[in-house]
Amino acid sequence: MMGPHSHAHWEEEQLGKAFDVRLLRRLLRYAQPYWKLFALALILSGGISVIELALPYLTKTAVDEVLVLPWVEVQSPTPPVPDALELGEGRYLVRDADLPEKVREELEQRGAVAGRWLLIPADAREAEVALRHPDLFLTTSQGYAIPEEGLKNLPRDGVWRLRRPQYQYLGLLALIFLAFLLVRFGLTYGQVYALQYAGQRIMFDMRREIFSHLLRLPMSILDREPVGRLVTRATNDVAAINEMYTRALVHLIQDFFMMLGVLAIMFRLNARLTLFLLAFAPVIGVLAFWFRRKARVAYREARKVLAQLNAYLAESLSGMAVIQLFRQELRSLKRFQEINREFFRAQMRTIMAFGLFQPAVAVMQNIALAFLIWYGGRGVLAGVFTLGGLIAFTSYIRILFQPLVRFSEEYNVLQAAMAAAERIFLFRDLPQEPRGKKPVPALRGEIEFRNVWFAYNDEDWVLRGVSFRVRPGEKIAIVGPTGSGKTTIISLIFGFYRPQKGQILIDGVPLEELDLREYRRHLALVPQDVFLFTGNVWDNIRMWNGGLTQEEAEQAAKLVGVHDYILRLPEGYATDVKERGMRISVGERQLLSLARAAAAEPKLVVLDEATANVDSHTEALVQEALRTVMAGRTTLAIAHRLSTIRDADRVLVIHEGKLVEEGTPEELLAKKGLFWALWQLQFAGASDSRA
């Protein structure tokens, strides 16, 4: 019950570095064929960044150029600047942009800046509005002036006519805004599509490569590794790497450019303020760094406990009978609750680490905003800075801080991808099953074992000096008690393993010199447990041999007498054998397996007969099919059936890894040895008890 790796599927996650140059370089090789897609995605994300940055700028322009009135009223005994416009009583109108910083600051301190005004040149078309409402306008040397509050007293159409250029400008800006949105929409879609497509193609390629490689690993490695683990390499691990391509890498690059862009704009708007704001960066940097360590430790700890928890659960489920028989339910429950509580605590620590970081970044963002209002606000009043600029800044801060938050996520993705790559490459670097070079165009079917010794591990000999020879066309039955080494002989004939001592000759040539794949094409295996693959009946008989037609598959099915049965299936040969609710009996599975062997038209047939009982009708069919498949071929059968043994030219009796008896069935029965005893037990006994 407890195999060496029974719970390996719940293996602990090993998390290592997020950047490993060697691994990264190797991973990037898979991305290389799709570099154009990545380049496209990057260009598109450049465009998106530009638009993201331009949208707040549009708002800024709208505020500065359209929404804020351009003239400022200043109370001053003398004109604050040479070309100030006198309103009378020590009040002057100054164009916002004309006021030098120094003067403005001084006025500000005296509280001399009063409000904003609109000025209409006397010769403008809008002047007609002023003429109609003389009580609301002041006449100055440069035209009619109206304070901001005064505008509210004008009728609607008056305001509209007065500010037509601004309305038009605003409309233009709104249209540009809309256009930007549309372009961003298109670019985003293109970027997502290009990236995802590239990612999917890379996964496709990687999976194909890994699967092909796994299929060709030496049998000794495949025996050792639990299937679940190998499957994870080709499925989930590849998906983790995809996350890196489609999310982390691109986001990192995109965020980098975005930050550069934001900084450039901010510097252009106001270098000093930007510099002050940048003072927050090291704080956030340190915070992010500190968090990264803290969160990583917490996260890893939690994963470790989770792996423990799941391993414990899986083990308990497998060993439930022991727990119950030894009445240790309560102890087991207590231990489980302990680990579970430990996991809960580890999770809470993770929640706290993440819970501190993300709000902390937000706090920095808000404090930066406070600083912006306090310092930038003064700047606006001092004329260093436009109001629109300030508003744009509030948006840009957000853009500047966002990547910092995102970075922690990306870091995890990268780390997971690197760990997955490490695991994948570990298998990818294993050498494939060794195979000789000698081509095998045809096979006579002669097998010779010369003093073959074999052990699956170390000195645990399964075969101890087995020698025999099978002549072409001969039918051999192998007989022996369970665990005597019969199946191992078959595995060696197929070249799944190499003997440690001795030699196996095929048609007089050492097996290891043959091109194994070509050699195996002349062989057919009928295993004890029939393995059916997802797919229809045709596929399962042909075993995806492209050279075989559907007709040939049906021919093979007719040959072994399973054709009628297949036709009775819901969709005949097109029936999916693994579909839910499909129940194919043991006997019919055996027949399908025989059809598979017949379709391969082998020179050498190797059978591992099933011990399971089938009903007598099917049994008759199977025996008939066996005879058909074996006819005219060299066959080797681990025999459990009376008929197979009777039909054999020769019987090899194996016991404890040695060939103990050899001869025709009649000879061996007369000898009254092991074969005779086995025969007595299996066949004489069975007929007794059935009678």
Asked if residue 430 binds other proteins (CB under 8 A), the reply is no
Out of 263, 543, 569, 620, the only residue in the binding site for other proteins (CB under 8 A) is: 543
Q: Which stretch binds other proteins (CB under 8 A): 25-33, 189-197, 277-285, 641-649?
A: 189-197
* Residue among 442, 445, 511 nearest 475 (CA): 445
Question: Residue 281: how many CA atoms within 13 Å on its side-chain side?
Answer: 11
426 burial type by CB count under 10 A (0-12 exposed, 13-18 middle, 19+ buried): exposed
Beta bridge partners of 454: 463
Torsion of CA 353, 355, 361, 367, to 10 degrees: -120
Phi, psi (degrees; rounded to nearest 5) at 614: -125, 165
Q: Which stretch binds other proteins (CB under 8 A): 38-46, 216-224, 564-572, 582-590?
A: 216-224
Please give the residues from 64 up to 83 whose contact with other proteins meets the rule CB under 8 A: 66-68, 72
Asked if residue 631 binds other proteins (CB under 8 A), the reply is no
Q: Would you say 264 or 370 has its CB closer to other proteins?
A: 370
CA 52-54-57 angle, to 5 degrees, is 125
Beta bridge partners of 145: 119, 138
Phi, psi (degrees; rounded to nearest 5) at 142: -105, 0
Out of 98, 126, 148, 619, the only residue in the binding site for other proteins (CB under 8 A) is: 148
Residue 317 Cα distances to 2, 303, 307, angstroms: 12, 21, 15
Please give the residues from 441 up to 460 whose contact with other proteins meets the rule CB under 8 A: none
Tokens in use for 452? 């073959």
Residue 78 Cα distances to 82, 229, 501, angstroms: 10, 87, 113
Q: Would you say 20 or 61 has its CB closer to other proteins?
A: 61
Please give the residues from 281 up to 310 whose contact with other proteins meets the rule CB under 8 A: 310
Asked if residue 674 binds other proteins (CB under 8 A), the reply is yes
Out of 50, 253, 313, 577, the only residue in the binding site for other proteins (CB under 8 A) is: 313
Q: How far apart are CA 202 and CA 417, in angstroms?
A: 14
Q: How far apart are CA 269 and CA 272, in angstroms?
A: 9
Out of 91, 116, 133, 444, the only residue in the binding site for other proteins (CB under 8 A) is: 116
Please give the residues from 325 up to 384 whose contact with other proteins meets the rule CB under 8 A: 325-329, 331-333, 336-337, 340-341, 343-344, 347-348, 351-352, 354-356, 358-360, 362-363, 366-367, 369-371, 373-374, 377-378, 380-381
Q: Which stretch binds other proteins (CB under 8 A): 172-180, 416-424, 461-469, 620-628?
A: 172-180
User: Whole-number minimum distance, CB 298 to other proteins, in Å?
Assistant: 13
Q: Would you say 2 or 21 has its CB closer to other proteins?
A: 2
User: Whole-number minimum distance, CB 602 to other proteins, in Å?
Assistant: 9
Q: Are 453 and 464 in contact (CB under 8 A)?
A: yes
Q: Which stretch binds other proteins (CB under 8 A): 177-185, 443-451, 555-563, 644-652?
A: 177-185
Q: Would you say 268 or 335 has its CB closer to other proteins?
A: 335
Q: Which residues make Cβ contacts (< 8 Å) with residue 231, sequence separation at least 6?
A: none
Which SS3 state, helix, strand or coil, does residue 374 take? helix
Asked if residue 408 binds other proteins (CB under 8 A), the reply is no
Please give the residues from 503 up to 522 whose contact with other proteins meets the rule CB under 8 A: 516-521
Q: How far apart are CA 171 and CA 161, in angstroms?
A: 15
Contacts with other proteins, 190-209, as mask; x by CB under 8 A: --xx--xx--xx-xx--xx-
Asked if residue 8 binds other proteins (CB under 8 A), the reply is yes
Asked if residue 1 binds other proteins (CB under 8 A), the reply is yes
Asked if residue 257 binds other proteins (CB under 8 A), the reply is no
Please give the residues from 476 up to 505 whose contact with other proteins meets the rule CB under 8 A: 481, 494, 496
Q: Would you say 300 or 649 has its CB closer to other proteins?
A: 300
Q: Would you say 16 or 186 has its CB closer to other proteins?
A: 186
User: Whole-number minimum distance, CB 20 to other proteins, in Å?
Assistant: 26
Asked if residue 256 binds other proteins (CB under 8 A), the reply is no
Mind spelling out the 3-state secondary structure of 290-329? HHHHHHHHHHHHHHHHHHHHHHHHHHHHHCHHHHHHCCCH
User: Whole-number minimum distance, CB 100 to other proteins, in Å?
Assistant: 16
Q: How far apart are CA 500 and CA 513, in angstroms?
A: 16
**Tokens 């780390």 sit on residue:** 415
Q: Which stretch binds other proteins (CB under 8 A): 15-23, 224-232, 293-301, 579-587?
A: 224-232
Q: Are 604 and 522 in contact (CB under 8 A)?
A: yes
Asked if residue 391 binds other proteins (CB under 8 A), the reply is yes
